[in-house]
Structures are given as C-alpha cells and as structure tokens.
Amino acid sequence: MGAARLIALDWGSTRLRAFLLGDGGEVLATRQSGDGAATLSGAEAYARALAALVGDWRAERPGVKLLACGMVGSQYGWREAPYVRCPADAAALAARVLPLDERFSIVPGLVDDAARPDVMRGEETQIVGALALHPELADDAVLVLPGTHAKWARVQGGRVTGFATHMTGELFALLRQHSVLNRLMPADGSSPASPEAFLQGVAAAAEEGGLGHQLFAVRTLGLFQRLASEQLPDYLSGLLIGHEITRELRAAAPRIALVGDPALCARYARALAHLGRPAPLQLDNTAPAGLWRLAHTMDPTRC
C-alpha cells in the first residue's frame, strides 16, 4: 500500500465505514462494521470499535491522522462536536472540528436555526465532498441526500445556506412494517419492483390533500385489487418520495444533484423526472472526499 495520509471514518447510527486515503486523497482500502453509534455507549465502547476495525492500519502507520464524521459526534456519541450554524462552508466546519486527541478529530454537524431548528450530522461532510468533486455545484444548487432522514440542502456561493430534513425513509419502514397498510402486502423483500406503481404513487402525491389521507389509498387500492399485492410497497414508496419532492420543489430549486446510495438515488431520479425536474448528477457516498477536503482545509501542509 502507498503512503496513507488519512484514515477517514464515516461513523453513522448503524454502521462504521473506514477509508484509508493516499497522498492525493485516493481510496487505498475500505472496511466497515456494524458498530454504528446507535449500538455503542461510552467512550470505551467507541475506542474498542475503532481499534477492532482499523487498529492494524494505525499500528502500521504511526502518526497517521483520523477524521470522523456522523453520529459519532452527537450528544449521545463518543463526544459531542457542537453544531455549526448555517450558512457554513468547508472552512467553517474545519475551524470547528473537535480534537479528541492529537491524531483523532470529529467533524461537527450543521444546524439550520430557524423557529424550528433542523440538524444534520454526516451529510455536511458528504456535501463538502460533492462540492470538492463537482465545483460547478458550489455556485447555486440543491443537494438531495436520500435516506432514513433525507436532507435537501441549498448551496450558494460555496456555503450551505439552509436545509430541510424529511423523515421519508423512516416513515416508509414504519408503515411497511407496523401499519394497517402492510396487511395486504407481501412479506418484506419478496416482491419484484413495480416502477409503474411507484410512479402512480409519485403522481398521487403531487395532488392536493394531506399525506395522512393519501396513504390510506395504499389500503383501498389493494382492497379493490386496482394494484396487485406486490405493487403496494412501490406505490407507498412513490407516495412518500413524491410528497418530499413536490413539497421541496415549491421552493423553486435551481440545479439538483443526488448524493448517496445508488439504488435510492435512482428512485429519486425517476420521481424527479416524472415531475419534470430531471437531476442528471448522481453521486455515490462522497464522505471520503469530504473528509479529505476537510482534513486538507484544517492542515494544508499535512494532507
């Protein structure tokens, strides 16, 4: 392996992912474990999880630095890295990185502090990475990061000027697993995809009427056999993603880019295209690029 310059850690609620980065920020090796922040409690547990995953990387490279982003820095994490307020750019984040020791630091999250605050942890680093990889987004764009708690972040002049969280992924899981809507659906994971039902859900979401009402159609369309049992999960997905998108598009976004899991981004891209707003740019996890950029911003001579 080449000269490793940084161990980049994307440490979210459910997973810990480690990237060994070389001289130019290129990924030399990756590893992951199930030691997400939601499964750990107390500094010792975090230290053990870190040693288990990358102890040998550190031993072989005395002095290598580590930079982590995500829920590891929440008030229930290893140690709290207080939120940085919007608007904020990479320099503002780098200036507030929390050092745990000489070699290991945690990137803070962002807060959009309006009447009802909104927060992110980990996505700010993915955004920094996306802008590093695609500087043309920095001037004016909306970055959409789908997931359990999807984020819509507005970027202007290289800074995140504001953002909104949508609990789309969590609502899907709750309704799929625990609600009356699951009764007519096949068991989890057994149904082939139905792009048609997905787009029907997207179209229904674009109409007026509350989400709590529109959701009930998942049941009645099944009850009256207008959709097959195996199409209902995709209709539900389309309804929830369509709601998120149509409510956000009212704010007349400029260029849109999707960042995250490719399958989920593809789903969002289909919905956006159906609603007349194609999002040609789709980026896979940009956390390593973001951590590299932040490390370089903190100490240009070291990375």
Residues that bind its own copies (CB under 8 A): 75, 116-119, 149, 164-168, 170-171, 174-175, 178-180, 204, 208-217, 220-221, 223-224, 226, 240, 243-244, 246-248, 250
Least separation in angstroms between CB 78 and its own copies = 18
Name the residue nearer to its own copies (CB basis): 47 or 80: 80
Nearer to its own copies by C-beta: 118 or 261? Answer: 118
Q: Write down the residue that tokens 């159906």 correspond to.
A: 274
Nearer to its own copies, 51 or 216 (CB): 216
152-174 burial: b if 16+ Cβ within 10 Å, else e: bbbbeeebbebbbbbebbebbee
Closest separation between CB of residue 246 and its own copies, Å? Answer: 8
For 35-56, b where at least 16 C-beta lie within 10 A, e where not — what string? bbbeebeeeeebeebbeebbee
Cβ–Cβ under 8 Å, residues 144 and 279: yes
Cβ 115 to its own copies, closest distance in Å?
9
- Other C-beta atoms within 10 Å of 139: how many? 12
Among residues 213 and 300, whose Cβ is nearest to its own copies?
213
Nearest distance in Å: CB 238, its own copies = 13
Q: Closer to its own copies at the Cβ: 48 or 219?
A: 219
Q: How far apart are the first and last CA of the chain?
A: 17
CA dihedral 264, 265, 266, 271 (to 10 degrees): 100
Question: How far apart are CB 236 and its own copies at their closest, in Å?
Answer: 12
Q: Which is nearer to its own copies, 47 or 164 (CB)?
A: 164
Nearer to its own copies, 131 or 232 (CB): 232
Minimum distance from residue 85 beta carbon to its own copies (Å):
12
Rounded to the nearest whole angstrom, what is the least distance from the CB of residue 239 to its own copies in the complex?
10
Which of residues 10 and 112 has its CB atom nearest to its own copies in the complex? 112
State the minimum distance, in angstroms, from the CB of residue 53 to its own copies: 25
Contact (CB, 8 A) for 140 and 156? yes
